[in-house]
Amino acid sequence: MQLLRDMHIVHCDIKPENILFHISGNVIDIKLADFGLSVKTKTSRTSSHWLSGLAGTEFYMSPE
């Protein structure tokens, strides 16, 4: 299993509609969908990559 963090991907639009559940017996898989606003960051841990600007669905954004 690869994590988004390990692939240097930021989703930018996590909301209830983009969270999928797959239940198989006692196993529950949680998956993210809709990577249209996602961002691929730099892979080097020594370089800094800051995300700036607005992204995501306005209704689900924090007021800050």
Active-site residues, by number, are 13
The amino acid at 59? F
- Identify the three-state secondary structure at position 26: coil
| 3-state SS class at 49 | coil
End-to-end CA separation in angstroms for the chain:
33
